[in-house]
Chains A and B, each alone.
Chain A
Amino acid sequence: MADNAHAAAADHAAEGTGLVFHPMDQFKVQPLFGGTDVSWYTPTNAMLWLALTVLAVFLIMVVGTRGRAVIPSRGQSIGELAYGFVHKMIEDVTGKDALVYFPYIMTLFMFILMNNFLGLIPTSFANTAQIAVTAVLAFAVFFAVTIIGFVKHGSHFLGLFWVTSAPLAIRPVLAVIEVISYFVRPVSHSIRLAGNITAGHAVMKVFAAFAGLVALSPLAILGITAMYGLEMLVAFIQAYVFTILTCVYLKDALHPSH
């Protein structure tokens, strides 16, 4: 991998004055302390930004609320806002019986939100743009939902695929479609998040490359600024969407008969 990096750097040097597009370089996982090998325990930039994400969550949710004031300070308000936001989302979308899973959903939301925002810091590393990361998150949700469904309802959970409100003749067809859509869920769930973050960051990088041309640089800066604003929105909305889809899938598991 590091060889690639060196090669890329050489490319940079060689192409020098012209337009250089390396929009995907920012997603490279590299060891923090030199070396070339990325084994499973190597401290990498991915690890660094995951750690910073945990730290950010810790700062907001624990340090911010250390006052435990009845009249909240600003920091405490942020933590309470996040708490109330997810709590209400679960109540509205899934129902009160899903509040057992509140800590896990809150973990997903805070983790993705913080990671998305930290990924927007220039030169940082966006973990949520990595398909490996979002796939783990999405498959964890997928397996959790499936297991909860079978544990709670046994074979009745399969009724999710047998649409009783449809005419009998087309039910098998619908069942096939439902099964396929059920198994596509984790794929779309993970690719949506990774794709959105990747797309935003890549577009900003492309704009940044245009800044190399003097004539285009004001436009490039304008474009980056606009994209950055949009990406702030996307960072929040994707965390929200990931969480709310988790709630929707969980609702299917808890109340399969629609």
Chain B
Amino acid sequence: MVLLKSILFPALAVGGLALLFGLLLAVASRVFAVKTNERLEKIRACLPGSNCGGCGYAGCDALAAAIHQGNAPCNACAGVSDENVRIIADLLGTTASKTTPRRAFVQCAGTNENATKKYDYTGIDDCSAAVRLYGGAKECAYSCTGLGSCVKRCKNNALSIKNGVAFVDPSLCNGCGACISSCPKNLIVLLPRSSKYAVACSSCDKGAVTKSQCKAGCVGCRICEKCCPEGAIRVENGLAVIDQEKCTGCGLCPNKCPRSIIVPV
């Protein structure tokens, strides 16, 4: 009897109240249902829903509203497939310009083995904090700190730290570009998905300096520039840059590069 009074009755009271409120809310949601815009919901359904923020809006809902009102182009989200962009364009009665699917790429190969260190960093686990302390723990001013501010930013788990350098998994990356602004050293770029090769270095230092700081970095020797039959690769400010539109992916430059810094992506 005591058991009944002290456990069952209170449980029934709270449970009953909860049930009552639940039913009330269920009825209310029917009674007070508001017709939302069907087109808006369809647009929202085409967006990925990861709320990555790469488009510059507060989330996928906000972007859908902006597209619906005509404030954003229907291909404003990098993570939407061409097919879905076409569906959105059809809903709005416009035509979508063709998009190039892109992916992020970290332009650094300064792994723990390759890059020499200035000091051991034991501070706050954040790239910007580390960069404020003499530009990070590695000698090279253009190196990845390996603390993973970009990893924390990415909503698709596409980034990870491998051996002290951030690495993008192209199968998970949707090319939203949210990680780009998280890197205090601007090492991350968006490459067209059709790219075959990329330069995994951002160092604009002179060749001798780069050589003393990192076993991998681009020294600006211009061998790649001379060997490229398409004229797609140029050395600017001591750093090789590939023009992905001209590059045919013939594979000559990665073989010729003495530092093996041109890598397949």
Decide whether A and B assemble into one complex: no
